[in-house]
Amino acid sequence: MKSIVRKLLVSGALVASSVAFAQADKVVMGVSIPAATHGWAGGVVYWANRTKGELEKQYPGIKVVVKTAGSAAEQANQIQDLQTVNKINTLVILPFESAPLTQPVAQIKSKGVFVTVVDRGLTDAAAQDAYVAGDNPGFGKVAAEFMAKELGGKGDIVILRGIPTVIDNQRVDAFNEVIKSHPGMKVLDAKHGNWNRDDAFKVMQDYLTRFKKIDAVWASDDDMAVGVQKAIEQAKRTDIKLVIGGAGAKGYVKKVMDGDPIVKANVTYSPSMIADAMKLTAEARVKGTSMPATTIIPSILITKENAAKYYFPDSPF
């Protein structure tokens, strides 16, 4: 037993030293992301693969390996494999969940791998070298501010929330914060539509049954906005003046671009943040420069004027 442990330690040290050696001449970047199980994650996979091609063209010495995982446990195994089999010295990871991946990532980092964490921060910041994320409070704030402006500071709003997570809480809290500063505006209710079209359809149907007058809907996600709009259409209600989704899905950016009377704006929370993270990390690693500890990619309001800039017809999202 003891000898096995010793062997493992020795081989671990060998791996570590070979990694340190490899680092000097060649960057091997592992990219670990959740599998494309919903629209936004599909976008992440698309952007990761697209950026892999771009980076390998731009920096001839670099090698990029993209892996997708179906669960937090699978992802933990996968990054181990990336380190032992693919001999990566740089890891860009969008963790499935923060807590269960903190230890596995810390293990990888302790072996000399440079770690950039994307979107969902680890519970222990020491386990990462750099953090690139979208702006979740901003996501709620920008939507609420646009809504307040558009409704002239008064009106009744219903909210559809995502899956109960820290991300969702941050967004909704920031949204409510802005609405509170407008005494004429009121949030009637906020229920979970789970970032899912079908659930959002049902929740919206029931909102329409329950509230006879709704001025605006914050669907907080473009997939949910699809379900919301179908429910409004079916009920033939005309009191709703505004539906705002979010995350910049191509279908919804197109609606904003074409001047849709109800979908007047969108807020970015682009899956392309994985591309930004990969580019920033690659540049820092190849040139040997340092990378900022935290990079926040702001949530930007998309309106008719700037929509063309955020429209990517090739992306699945």
Q: What residues make contact with other proteins under the rule CB under 8 A?
A: 35-39, 41-43, 45-46, 161, 164, 189-192, 194-198, 201-203, 205-207, 209-210, 223, 226-227, 230, 234, 251, 315-317
Q: Indicate the residue among 179 and 286 with the shorter CB distance to other proteins.
A: 179
For CA atoms 202, 208, 211, 214, the dihedral sign is: positive
Q: Indicate the residue among 135 and 223 with the shorter CB distance to other proteins.
A: 223
User: Closest Cα to residue 115, out of 100, 105, 125, 103?
Assistant: 105
Q: Indicate the residue among 38 and 111 with the shorter CB distance to other proteins.
A: 38
Q: Least distance from C-beta 237 to other proteins, angstroms?
A: 11
Contacts for 20-27: CB closer than 8 Å, 24+ residues apart: 20/112, 22/87, 22/89, 23/89, 23/112, 25/61, 26/61, 26/62, 26/63, 27/59, 27/61, 27/62, 27/63, 27/89, 27/90, 27/282, 27/285, 27/286
For residue 156, what is the enclosing H or E element?
A: strand 154-161
Q: Indicate the residue among 51 and 102 with the shorter CB distance to other proteins.
A: 51
Contact (Cβ atoms closer than 8 angstroms) between residue 112 and residue 88:
no
Q: Indicate the residue among 39 and 104 with the shorter CB distance to other proteins.
A: 39
* 205: CB partners within 8 A, 6+ apart: 231, 234, 235
Q: Least distance from C-beta 38 to other proteins, angstroms?
A: 5
Phi and psi torsions of 244, nearest 5°: -115, 125
Q: Least distance from C-beta 161 to other proteins, angstroms?
A: 7
Q: Least distance from C-beta 150 to other proteins, angstroms?
A: 26
Q: Indicate the residue among 100 and 251 with the shorter CB distance to other proteins.
A: 251
Kindly state the tokens that stand for 25. 């001449």
Whole-angstrom Cα distance, residue 76 to residue 102?
Answer: 9
Q: Least distance from C-beta 214 to other proteins, angstroms?
A: 14
Q: Least distance from C-beta 41 to other proteins, angstroms?
A: 6
Q: Indicate the residue among 175 and 201 with the shorter CB distance to other proteins.
A: 201
Contact (Cβ atoms closer than 8 angstroms) between residue 182 and residue 157:
no
Q: Least distance from C-beta 43 to other proteins, angstroms?
A: 7
